[in-house]
Amino acid sequence: MNSTRTVHLAVYDTFADWETGHTTAHLRQNGFDVRTVGPTTDPVTTMGGVRIQPDLALADLDQEDSALLILTGANLWDAGDDLAPFAAKARTFLDAGVPVAAICGATAGIAREGLLDDRDHTSAVSFYLAATGYKGGERYREADAVTDGDLITAGPTEPVAFAREVFAKLGVYEGEKLDAWYRLFHDSDASAFEILNAES
């Protein structure tokens, strides 16, 4: 098990801002360092127009220094092969036993890389992934988010379920607290607040 407390967040032009906010904010609040990884270290601009200066370039990312790689959605995933190197890096991570979490368009990117052919997974809709020509259609699951081994997938409307799976994988919250976190942020269940903030 990788003992590092550093999580890497992939960032690139048209990055979908809303998809990873819960994940990264609560990782930071629970002792993880979140570092951004771009195609290069040149600034990128999110879908919402936010400019991000990546901490490091993809070529310099070593899976041995990471607890998790997060691949976010972006228009670029379906506009050509510009982000294919990120999917290839995901393969390197998974081959080394380091988790990867992919949401929205990133699921199509890793499908093209062949990473969903033999793993349970989800995405926006099944036919979105089918259009990639991948061979994993029988492993598609109609679910908010899916974890299969070291790979987490989710669709674009499920940032809270995506975060829940990441927290479970990294042991950020467990059991009753994980359930309470999800009920608070997904269901607006105020009764979950006290459980989440109770002393362990």
Question: Tokens standing for 59?
Answer: 């070529």
Is 12 annotated in the active site?
no
CA distance 179 to 170: 15
pLDDT tens digit sequence for 136-169:
999 999 999 999 999 999 999 999 999 999 999 9
pLDDT tens per residue across span 159-196: 999 999 999 999 999 999 999 999 999 999 999 999 99
Q: Does any domain span residue 38?
A: yes
**pLDDT of amino acid 197:** 87
Give the pLDDT confidence score for residue 1 in this predicted structure.
43
Q: Is residue 197 part of a domain?
A: no
- pLDDT confidence band for 198 (50 / 70 / 90): confident
| Strand bridging mode 145-148 / 151-154 | antiparallel
Mean pLDDT of 114-119: 98
Residue 194 lies in a domain: no
User: Domain containing 59 — which CATH number?
Assistant: 3.40.50.880
| Residue 160 and residue 186 in contact, taking contact as beta carbons nearer than 8 Å | yes
- Residue numbers of the domain that contains 93: 6-173
Is 165 a member of any domain?
yes
Total domain count, the chain? 1
In this predicted structure, the answer to whether residue 34 has a pLDDT above a threshold of 90 is: yes
Half-sphere exposure of 59 (CA within 13 A, CB side): 3
**How large a percentage of the chain has pLDDT more than 70?**
98
Fill in the amino acid letter for 171: G
Mean pLDDT of 106-126: 97
- Has residue 123 been placed in a domain? yes
The one catalytic residue among 67, 104, 163, 180: 104
Find, among 2, 114, 13, 141, the residue nearest to 68 by Cα. Answer: 2
Say if 199 falls within a structural domain: no
Tokens of 123: 């995405």
Q: pLDDT, tens digit, for every residue of 55-104?
A: 999 999 999 999 999 999 999 999 999 999 999 999 999 999 999 999 99
Please indicate, yes or no, if residue 200 is contained in any of the structural domains.
no
The whole-model pTM stands at 0.96
Residue 184 lies in a domain: no
Partner residues linked to 45 by β-bridges = 51
Cβ neighbourhood burial of 157 (10 Å; 0-12, 13-18, 19+): middle
